[in-house]
Structure 1
Amino acid sequence: MNERAIRIPAIGLDLKVFIEPSATEGRATLIETHDAPGFGPPMHRHGNETEVFHVLQGRYLFEVDGERRIVSAGETLTALAGTKHRFVNIDDETSPMLVLISPGFDAASFFGQLRDVMTDGVPDPATLARFGAKWDIEFLGPPLKAHAA
């Protein structure tokens, strides 16, 4: 297991890459995220990757293609490639999730570069769009707010 830690304070995210795509012949990547309360990604869509989210502790509000669902510790949710999705940690504490990404995705490079893009907080939409285009990820709107639960 190759464990690489990445911290992005501007978006309340700490993550570890547990399994890189090279270990699965490009079939999958496994990461663990730790999201601070009230934080989560903006609405986005992956052109190629399906993400399977397994909540280890706490509660998250997910929105996938317009449908919202609270996912609690021990529960799993899938966002298929091409679906619009976002989530927010609605718990009072930082909460961890395992995220299986298939096919494999260079999460270490993606999140390392995202950390650089987010250095001064959320970048303007054009900068985020250019960054996403390099990864075939389309950013479509703001993050969910915790009070939306």
Structure 2
Amino acid sequence: MNKTTKAYIYQPYESELRWMGKTSTYFLATGALTDGAFGLVEERSIRGISVPLHKHDNDVESFYILEGEVTFFLDGKPGIRAISGAFVHIPKGTVHGFRIDSEVVRYLILTTPHHAEFYRAISLPSSEATVDDAVIIKACQEYGVELIGPLPD
């Protein structure tokens, strides 16, 4: 174990909080905190927010829906609605995107430390954060996320 890695507890709302528009991201576990084992974030968002089709060839990503409903688009298949309690696993290289269907949603994302840092790169520490598209495109290039296109209707 890395000498800088130690056990910790975050009470609700104690972890680092960053924003991308109307989506908040709590960094519950980072590579630095888990000795490089994994990253875990909790996101909260609102109806209509979507993430376009994209893929990342080096990073897996899994979603656990805590509250609300999200439609996931995976590998060119029609959208599948995931409700509270649903688990969605996305292997490396899988084209995917999603759209928030409920008024509010909360979900966990379990991923690699590298991909968790991508979330940090596309978010800001302010609740008034509107991240410029150029920042997102640069972060995609740096973290190996390939934008594919908009979600299907």
Tell me whether the two structures share a fold, i.e. TM-score over 0.5: yes
2:34 corresponds to 1:27: no
Separation in 2 of the partners of 1:73 and 1:120? Answer: 28
Which structure's CA Rg is the greater one?
2
Paired residues, what number?
136
User: After superposition, where does 1:59-138 map in structure 2 within 5 Å?
Assistant: 59-67=69-77, 68-91=79-102, 93-101=103-111, 103-105=112-114, 107=116, 109-115=117-123, 119=130, 123=133, 128-138=136-146
Q: RMSD of the alignment, in Å?
A: 2.2
Amino acid at match of 1:76: F
Runs of 4+ in 1 over 6 A off after TM superposition: none
CA distance in 2, matches of 1:139, 1:26: 26
Does structure 1 residue 38 correspond to structure 2 residue 40?
Answer: no
Q: CA deviation at 1:49?
A: 1.1
* 5+ residue gaps, structure 1: none
Q: Is the 8 A contact 1:20 1:106 kept in 2?
A: no
Change (3 A) 1:45 1:106: closer
Deviation at 1:119, TM superposition (A): 3.5
Structure 1 length as normaliser, TM-score? 0.79
Which of these residues, 8, 11, 20, is aligned with residue 8 of structure 1? 20
Q: Which has the higher helix share?
A: 1
Percent of aligned pairs sharing the same letter: 23
Instruction: Tell me the CA shift for residue 7 of structure 1.
Output: 1.0
Q: Give ranges in structure 2 of 5+ residues lacking alignment.
A: 1-8
Cα shift at 1:25: 2.4
Distance 1:56 1:139, change over 3 A: same
